[in-house]
Amino acid sequence: MSFQNPVFIPGPTNIPENLRKACDMPTIDHRSPLFGHILHPAREGVRKVLQSDSAEVFIFPATGTGGWETALTNTLSPGDRVLVARNGMFSHRWIDMCQRHGLDVQVVEVAWGSGIPADRYEEILTADTGHRIKAVLATHNETATGVRSDIGAIRRAMDAAGHPALLFVDGVSSIGSMEFRFDDWGVDVAVTGSQKGFMLPAGLAITGFSTKAMAAIDTATLPRTFFDVRDMAKGYAGNAYPYTPAVGLMNGLNEACKMLLEEGLENVFARHHRIAEGVRAAVRAWGLELCANDPSVQSDTVSAIRTPEGFNATDIVTHAADRYGVAFGVGLGEVAGKVFRIGHLGSLTDVMALSGIATAEMCMADLGLDITLGSGVAAAQDYYRRHPAAGMKGPV
Amino acid sequence: MSFQNPVFIPGPTNIPENLRKACDMPTIDHRSPLFGHILHPAREGVRKVLQSDSAEVFIFPATGTGGWETALTNTLSPGDRVLVARNGMFSHRWIDMCQRHGLDVQVVEVAWGSGIPADRYEEILTADTGHRIKAVLATHNETATGVRSDIGAIRRAMDAAGHPALLFVDGVSSIGSMEFRFDDWGVDVAVTGSQKGFMLPAGLAITGFSTKAMAAIDTATLPRTFFDVRDMAKGYAGNAYPYTPAVGLMNGLNEACKMLLEEGLENVFARHHRIAEGVRAAVRAWGLELCANDPSVQSDTVSAIRTPEGFNATDIVTHAADRYGVAFGVGLGEVAGKVFRIGHLGSLTDVMALSGIATAEMCMADLGLDITLGSGVAAAQDYYRRHPAAGMKGPV
Amino acid sequence: MSFQNPVFIPGPTNIPENLRKACDMPTIDHRSPLFGHILHPAREGVRKVLQSDSAEVFIFPATGTGGWETALTNTLSPGDRVLVARNGMFSHRWIDMCQRHGLDVQVVEVAWGSGIPADRYEEILTADTGHRIKAVLATHNETATGVRSDIGAIRRAMDAAGHPALLFVDGVSSIGSMEFRFDDWGVDVAVTGSQKGFMLPAGLAITGFSTKAMAAIDTATLPRTFFDVRDMAKGYAGNAYPYTPAVGLMNGLNEACKMLLEEGLENVFARHHRIAEGVRAAVRAWGLELCANDPSVQSDTVSAIRTPEGFNATDIVTHAADRYGVAFGVGLGEVAGKVFRIGHLGSLTDVMALSGIATAEMCMADLGLDITLGSGVAAAQDYYRRHPAAGMKGPV
Amino acid sequence: MSFQNPVFIPGPTNIPENLRKACDMPTIDHRSPLFGHILHPAREGVRKVLQSDSAEVFIFPATGTGGWETALTNTLSPGDRVLVARNGMFSHRWIDMCQRHGLDVQVVEVAWGSGIPADRYEEILTADTGHRIKAVLATHNETATGVRSDIGAIRRAMDAAGHPALLFVDGVSSIGSMEFRFDDWGVDVAVTGSQKGFMLPAGLAITGFSTKAMAAIDTATLPRTFFDVRDMAKGYAGNAYPYTPAVGLMNGLNEACKMLLEEGLENVFARHHRIAEGVRAAVRAWGLELCANDPSVQSDTVSAIRTPEGFNATDIVTHAADRYGVAFGVGLGEVAGKVFRIGHLGSLTDVMALSGIATAEMCMADLGLDITLGSGVAAAQDYYRRHPAAGMKGPV
């Protein structure tokens, strides 16, 4: 049953038909020139999606978590201090990884539902006159809370402090879906995966390194092999990989970049915003609130929706799966049981979004919440009607 | 875009994942035993779906229209009289085919929206004391009007008249979705295609012949080669086809039969009824009426919905495609411009049905009809919540 | 097992990866403009493959046999005389179809292994001063014997006789693989299927009609509905079909035409000739002879190979399937048991051809024929080495 | 072109049709019970393929290289001593990884073409009375040289020395193709990837941990996160992954295990041996020698073939790709230019193997080596004829 309904988890996304076909490739010799015709355009495509002229793109057969490890182990040494905010489960996990790799982690605790406080970063960086902080970590879009932070503001904070630390950005659930400006924001390492904005199956860790990050590689002493970008760079130069690449996924990534760039990144971002606005209109119509505590931080790729006190939000997710064959996301960590999440990134139409909204309201009603059937749908319909999708004809 | 949304045309249906894969087959030798392992189970599966113990099943690489021609040309001779009711576009076309093949067609005109009048058939057959009528034709489900006729009643009418004519039933949009009893109803030739209840791409004309129909073959003189069931029968006996079969589609048909029989035909019919009831609840909530003029004839596979006088119903279909990337069916023939159709057969979930209903109401509102957004959705949600899908857990 | 080995039947062919993907399409609305974007380019592509500027192309969800029926029933009337040579199983079957449709068939019997005798046609046509012969039928490539006839010569014979008959050509196993000149040869109806030169699954009857053939439609009285080109033409004008089209296969056909035209028809023909020459070299090395009794008629798409007296050639085919999982073609009709066939049309490389040759020689040796292992392979290797495939680098 | 020919690289292998389809999955919620129905059977299937009753199987979205890192980082601490033989490129790379992770690596240099000297291991381990060696590393099948080492002998050496070190085995190009006895050989960590014996695309690092290896995890201090088996174990317990799994590949792995176990591991091993014997017969017929210097170490998954002095073996690989669209493997490291490799693992038939052999001999002849065309093919044909494939009928 579930193969028929769209998924509304915040990744992996629904996979467009042509990307499924691009990934489903017969075996080729990954050491032949044919592979080069996939590898190089895919790397170039990712660079453009990052809106960068100069990022070195490294793509590992792994996941976003492997991308985090790539960022850390290639640029830092044991004992290096890093600055990072915890405002949700994914920033929490990255912090945990830093600690397990022997880094000295300075954590800024932030309410789950808030964005990263650039002003607090600025204070800390300004105070760090000895430049002991080697890297600033930022989760662009907290998938757990549906909160998008302002990376440009963090860059400005770093510049205001005159601080030379590297800036690492987890863009797993933002890149390819929401504005991401590698060059303009002075990002040093950007991290994402194949299964979010690129709309592919999971299996690729995708990273971009700035010139400054590349320079840091030589002195970094954290142990690394699988995720060593030096081996990867050497492989690329010879048209190959240091080990066996995931050729079909790389082919899919190449195709995904073509799709996104052909649509135009601004259009891609506008499309995500539009779908998200419909979902948010539904949430308001239900009389519920988002976990994201301010419109300025509401994510266009995932909405974490708070349910009333005393109600276990996870029941909605279980019920939706059991009763309607639809997948939503549960709350994680601090907001477990308090929110359920509707993923709305990647390949999604009005019609698909409405079916998710309709399902959510059936579930809430089934579970005894005071929800008027059709109310969220009507609010979203109203929004979608008034804001026609690009490429679709406007209202009559 | 359209690849992402379900289709709501009354066939071809949405194709389940496993059936797409079953059809997508590399080439095999269609004269090898391997093909026999597809052919014979597929024929046997169709026989069971027809609820018959004895029907000879013939499957042509063609469409339902080819199935009609198969029924006529294998059993009748030029000048033979046939009795048939016209109550929609598809019965109209079958009549046209009879005339072009030189048959003497006795047409019973019926209002589009009504079912076949078994009592009128009985009168005519009773009056035909010389048994000039060689075949009675019946369109089980008029796809154009969403009207299901009572084939059992027609059989009873024939029996009451003591008439020996053959009974041909077009079950294109009913077989595999709604109750169809080949043996119990005394059907002599049943006709369908791959793209409806079997949820496959178009490309197979599927027919079942009774013993009586098989006997008629020898004396029938209408010219036939491609659709000659004698060649087909001879081929089957040798594990093959008289020409190249559509192997992948046959493999898909075999798989489709397995799916339907494993679910259980009664469950399949109940599932279609349930989805259809939700759509009908939405239609009522919109304040509109079905073309089918009586609940007893309302089809569980397609609903033809009348729009208000002065409104061109076809605009809804065009608008849905242009603006929302969703496919509905237009009105055909006498009801062109007066109805639009929502197909709800085959592979469909609550969630998919709700997205179609939500789209229809956006379209009607966009085009100025007085429709309350969310109203049809709420009515269908209410029905689906109170009647959980089989295999899904019930209300909490 | 058989999915892994290439097939060596004379159609369906091995299906290229991209064509399998083109055929494996989700459902679209076949009455929407999207279908027009498949239909019209596919028809245009076929026209170009036919090397015609003016042919009207009609594509039915059927097979080549349906294409024959399309040619006959749309242009002829009961009792019309047709002239046709019988030089193999497929011409035999077309003759049978003519007879079953009530045509007056004048058969020229030809040895199986010989081509159609244009001079004999000329005599008959010249003698037919009353122009009772309405159509001349010719099987371009007799798939049963591996014999290619000279259609240009038949046209010249017709012209020399000043005879106005229509010229129908069965190009099922030639079109898209060997030279076929619809316009230059004055073909009136050309017939093929999807599963040969177009390298697709079976399921499409593909026909081209000349202006003269189109004019014959109005007076032709053979009954037809499914194969009526008038309905088809009317459908096309409205961007649609008179019934449900096989959308995925049409999409595949469109893609196949693009592939063939991009490669260039002359290159396609040269490629087939080259592969065939390797197979013929192997046959000579084995000390065997082709059924085709003269090099000028040897087909580039299929070789029928005569085995020694007293040996049942069909055993080779059975043994190849049972023991090596490889499909060859059996002899049919008059040459049953006397020949086995290696199909070498469509998507085939040197490497694939060599594996078929290697298998054939293992089978012959297994079955006691005096065949030196490796001999046919070596002869084909020698040919392929000296004649590099286009697009591949030449000898060092 | 290359999509049509089999590949003859030593992995990734040709992918069977059903495994491609198993991998090509629409998105499901990887936190739903549905994923558990893939995950647990896949792990159980791998355990059986390892011939183990107790191995804990961990599957990472990575490659075999990631599997090596998993083995090391989960069980060892910086400065730990490991014993390892270098007899080819892959053992060389694993040594390099150990060094980069700060291990104290005791290398036994072995001629490339020889197996791991169990007697030398025994001497070293016996001498290590203080048990400073924490792990013994062994590359079961050196993919670079086509050499299979005797892991049972290494275990006996360890036991004879009474040494408690862990035994890590790289079974990347052996597991699922050649005899591998996790329990009987007392393997502590076994490592492989999806793209070899499991016949899937690259993208999974597959590892098995013994109880003893699991116990070592708690004290191991090498940094790890992505490859931490503790997180993985915790995830599995909750029916999930610590990050997003590669669901489609896991589904393929589950299916691959079913295929292998249904065929029977002994039959799988016999099948590989049989195909390999044909290739080795061809090599002898060519008058060439294998890199593997003794029949007892010749691998059944890959043959590295030495070419005459003064000839660059890599030219064969380049020429095969350029001229015939066929992929062989080049020599690596010490044997670069001296050998070319024919991979013969996974999904391969006689017919496919013969096409690779035929191609190799064309290439060698093209490049001026004194090779008789057809000679290797004939030798392999002779072997395959006398040793029919299991499931195929025997000689007539």
The tens digit of pLDDT for each residue in A16-74 reads 999 999 999 999 999 999 999 999 999 999 999 999 999 999 999 999 999 999 999 99
**CA B108 to CA A190: how far, in whole Å?**
73
- Chain B's closest residue to C327, CA to CA, is B29
Shortest distance, CA D44 to any CA of chain C (angstroms)? 26
* pLDDT of amino acid B393: 61
Alpha carbon distances (Å) from D12 to C104, C289, D7, D68, D344: 61, 42, 8, 18, 11
**CA B20 to CA A20: how far, in whole Å?**
13
Asked if A89 contacts A338 with a C-beta cutoff of 8 angstroms, the reply is: no
Q: Which of A15, A21, A393 to mutate to test the interface with C (most CBs of C within 10 A)?
A: A21
For chain B, helix, strand, coil in percent to 5 are: 40, 15, 45
Structure tokens at A96: 């945990």
- Chain A's closest residue to C24, CA to CA, is A21
Are residue A276 and residue A322 in the same domain, yes or no?
yes
Tell if the CB–CB gap between B366 and A325 is shorter than 8 Å: no
For chain C, which residues lie within 8 Å of any Cβ of chain A, measuring from their own Cβ? 17, 21, 24, 26
CATH number for the domain that contains residue A303: 3.90.1150.10
Half-sphere exposure of A72 (CA within 13 A, CB side): 34
Closest alpha carbon to B142 in B102, B107, B181, B115: B115
A·D CB contacts under 8 A = 165
For the stretch D81-103, pLDDT in tens is 999 999 999 999 999 999 999 99
What is the rounded average pLDDT of the residues B237-252?
Answer: 96
For the stretch D46-73, pLDDT in tens is 999 999 999 999 999 999 999 999 999 9
Q: Is residue D6 part of a domain?
A: no
Tell if the CB–CB gap between D381 and C395 is shorter than 8 Å: no
For residue D281, give the 3-state DSSP assignment: helix
Check residue C295 and report its DSSP letter: G
Asked if A9 contacts A327 with a C-beta cutoff of 8 angstroms, the reply is: yes
Q: Transcribe A200-251 into DSSP letters.
A: --S--EEEEE-HHHHHHTTT--S--STT-HHHHHHHHHTTS-SS---HHHHH
For chain A, helix, strand, coil in percent to 5 are: 40, 15, 40
For chain D, which residues lie within 8 Å of any Cβ of chain B, measuring from their own Cβ? 17, 21, 24, 26
Bridge partners (DSSP) of residue D59 are D206
pLDDT bucket at C396, cuts 50 / 70 / 90: very low
For residue C104, give the 3-state DSSP assignment: strand
Positive/negative CA dihedral, A167, A171, A175, A178: negative
Are residue A198 and residue A280 in the same domain, yes or no?
no
Asked if C77 contacts C271 with a C-beta cutoff of 8 angstroms, the reply is: no
**At D133, which helix (H) or strand (E)?**
strand D133-139
What is the rounded average pLDDT of the residues C84-105?
Answer: 98
**CA C317 to CA B31: how far, in whole Å?**
11
Question: Could you tell me which residues of D are annotated as the binding site for substrate?
Answer: 341
Quickly list H helices, D62-197: 64-75, 89-100, 118-127, 151-160
Phi, psi of D342 (to 5 degrees): -110, 115
Shortest distance, CA A391 to any CA of chain C (angstroms)? 15
* pLDDT of amino acid D390: 84
Query: Does the structure show a pLDDT above 90 at D2?
Result: no
CATH number for the domain that contains residue B135: 3.40.640.10
Structure tokens at A302: 């995932």
* pLDDT of amino acid B53: 98
Task: Indicate the residue among B262, B295, B316 that finishes a domain.
Answer: B262
Identity of the amino acid at D164: P
Tell if the CB–CB gap between D61 and A64 is shorter than 8 Å: no
Q: Is A341 annotated as a binding residue?
A: yes
Query: Does the structure show a pLDDT above 60 at C394?
Result: no
| Chain C: partners with 3+ C-beta pairs within 8 Å | A, B, D
**CA A106 to CA D335: how far, in whole Å?**
50
Are residue C126 and residue C138 in the same domain, yes or no?
yes
Let me know how many helices (H) and strands (E) chain B has, helices first: 13, 13
Identity of the amino acid at B50: L
In chain D, the percentage of residues whose pLDDT exceeds 70 is 98
Going by their DSSP bridges, the two strands A104-109 and C289-290 should be labelled as: unpaired
**CA C239 to CA D361: how far, in whole Å?**
54
**Contacts of residue A322 in chain B, CB cutoff 8 Å?**
392-393
Evaluate whether ipTM surpasses 0.85.
Answer: yes
Task: Indicate the residue among C240, C262, C284 that finishes a domain.
Answer: C262
Cβ-proximal residues to A8 (8 Å cutoff; 6+ apart), any chain: A326, A327, A328, A329, A342, A343, A344, A356, A359
**Contacts of residue B247 in chain C, CB cutoff 8 Å?**
12, 201-202
Are residue D271 and residue D240 in the same domain, yes or no?
no
**CA A71 to CA D189: how far, in whole Å?**
28
Positive/negative CA dihedral, C256, C257, C262, C266: positive
For the stretch B137-171, pLDDT in tens is 999 999 999 999 999 999 999 999 999 999 999 99
Are residue A295 and residue A362 in the same domain, yes or no?
yes
CB atoms within 10 A of CB B99: 15
Are residue D246 and residue D291 in the same domain, yes or no?
no
For the stretch A86-140, pLDDT in tens is 999 999 999 999 999 999 999 999 999 999 999 999 999 999 999 999 999 999 9
Are residue B213 and residue B310 in the same domain, yes or no?
no
Tell if the CB–CB gap between A3 and B16 is shorter than 8 Å: yes
In chain A, the number of structural domains is 2
* pLDDT of amino acid A340: 98
Minimum-distance CB partner of A393 among B322, B354, B372 = B322
Tell if the CB–CB gap between A349 and B5 is shorter than 8 Å: yes
pLDDT bucket at A393, cuts 50 / 70 / 90: low
pLDDT bucket at A359, cuts 50 / 70 / 90: very high
End-to-end alpha carbon distance in chain A: 36
* pLDDT of amino acid A396: 41
Bridge partners (DSSP) of residue C109 are C86
Expressed as residue numbers, the domain containing C236 is 17-262
What is the rounded average pLDDT of the residues B338-344?
Answer: 98
* pLDDT of amino acid A213: 98
Q: In the predicted model, what is the mean pLDDT of chain C?
A: 96
What is the rounded average pLDDT of the residues B324-331?
Answer: 97
Q: Is residue D313 part of a domain?
A: yes
* pLDDT of amino acid C1: 37
Query: Does the structure show a pLDDT above 70 at C384?
Result: yes
Q: Is residue B325 part of a domain?
A: yes
What is the rounded average pLDDT of the residues C318-324?
Answer: 96
Shortest distance, CA B367 to any CA of chain A (angstroms)? 6
What is the rounded average pLDDT of the residues B355-377?
Answer: 98
Are residue C297 and residue C255 in the same domain, yes or no?
no
Q: Is residue C393 part of a domain?
A: no
pLDDT bucket at D395, cuts 50 / 70 / 90: very low
For residue D369, give the 3-state DSSP assignment: coil
Structure tokens at B265: 């035909």
Going by their DSSP bridges, the two strands B141-142 and B205-209 should be labelled as: unpaired
Q: Which of D29, D94, D224, D344 to mutate to test the interface with A (most CBs of A within 10 A)?
A: D29
CB atoms within 10 A of CB D245: 26
Are residue C26 and residue C171 in the same domain, yes or no?
yes
Q: In the predicted model, what is the mean pLDDT of chain B?
A: 96
Q: Which of A32, A94, A244 to mutate to test the interface with D (most CBs of D within 10 A)?
A: A244
**CA B218 to CA B207: how far, in whole Å?**
18
For the stretch B259-290, pLDDT in tens is 999 999 999 999 999 999 999 999 999 999 99
Minimum-distance CB partner of A243 among D63, D225, D246 = D63
Bridge partners (DSSP) of residue C105 are C82
- Chain B's closest residue to A377, CA to CA, is B374
**CA B82 to CA B75: how far, in whole Å?**
12
- Residues C14-38: b if buried by 16+ CB within 10 A, e if exposed: bbbebbbbbbbbbbbbbbbebbeeb
Positive/negative CA dihedral, B225, B227, B230, B233: positive
For residue A118, give the 3-state DSSP assignment: helix
* pLDDT of amino acid D75: 98
In chain D, the percentage of residues whose pLDDT exceeds 90 is 96
Tell if the CB–CB gap between B361 and A381 is shorter than 8 Å: yes
What is the rounded average pLDDT of the residues D134-163?
Answer: 98
Asked if A85 contacts A113 with a C-beta cutoff of 8 angstroms, the reply is: no
- Give this prediction's pTM: 0.97
Are residue B216 and residue B68 in the same domain, yes or no?
yes
Minimum-distance CB partner of A7 among D12, D27, D101 = D27
**Contacts of residue A352 in chain B, CB cutoff 8 Å?**
4-5, 355
Q: Is residue D4 part of a domain?
A: no
**Contacts of residue A373 in chain B, CB cutoff 8 Å?**
374, 377-378, 381-382, 385
Q: Is residue C243 part of a domain?
A: yes
What is the rounded average pLDDT of the residues D211-236?
Answer: 97
For the stretch B60-75, pLDDT in tens is 999 999 999 999 999 9
* pLDDT of amino acid D393: 61
For the stretch B113-132, pLDDT in tens is 999 999 999 999 999 999 99
**Contacts of residue A252 in chain C, CB cutoff 8 Å?**
none
pLDDT bucket at A2, cuts 50 / 70 / 90: very low
By the 10 Å C-beta count (0-12 exposed, 13-18 middle, 19+ buried), D368 is classed as exposed
Task: Indicate the residue among A262, A288, A304 that finishes a domain.
Answer: A262
**CA D63 to CA A246: how far, in whole Å?**
9
Identity of the amino acid at D263: E
**Contacts of residue A34 in chain D, CB cutoff 8 Å?**
2
What is the rounded average pLDDT of the residues B95-112?
Answer: 98
C·D CB contacts under 8 A = 143
In chain B, the percentage of residues whose pLDDT exceeds 70 is 98
**Contacts of residue C26 in chain A, CB cutoff 8 Å?**
17
What is the rounded average pLDDT of the residues A309-337?
Answer: 97
CB atoms within 10 A of CB A395: 12
**CA C176 to CA D97: how far, in whole Å?**
55
For the stretch C111-144, pLDDT in tens is 999 999 999 999 999 999 999 999 999 999 999 9
Q: Is residue C396 part of a domain?
A: no
For the stretch A280-304, pLDDT in tens is 999 999 999 999 999 999 999 999 9
Tell if the CB–CB gap between D351 and C349 is shorter than 8 Å: no
Shortest distance, CA C273 to any CA of chain A (angstroms)? 27
Are residue C140 and residue C207 in the same domain, yes or no?
yes
Query: Does the structure show a pLDDT above 70 at B395?
Result: no
Half-sphere exposure of D302 (CA within 13 A, CB side): 32
Identity of the amino acid at A6: P
**Contacts of residue D5 in chain C, CB cutoff 8 Å?**
349, 351-352
* pLDDT of amino acid D3: 72
Q: Is residue B48 part of a domain?
A: yes
Are residue C257 and residue C136 in the same domain, yes or no?
yes
* pLDDT of amino acid B3: 72
Question: SS3 for B301-361, per residue?
Answer: CEEEEECCCCCCCHHHHHHHHHHHCCCCEECCHHHCCCEEEEECCCCCCHHHHHHHHHHHH
* pLDDT of amino acid B170: 98
Bridge partners (DSSP) of residue D105 are D82
Cβ-proximal residues to B282 (8 Å cutoff; 6+ apart), any chain: B357, B360, B361, B375, B376, B377, B379, B380
Q: In the predicted model, what is the mean pLDDT of chain A?
A: 96
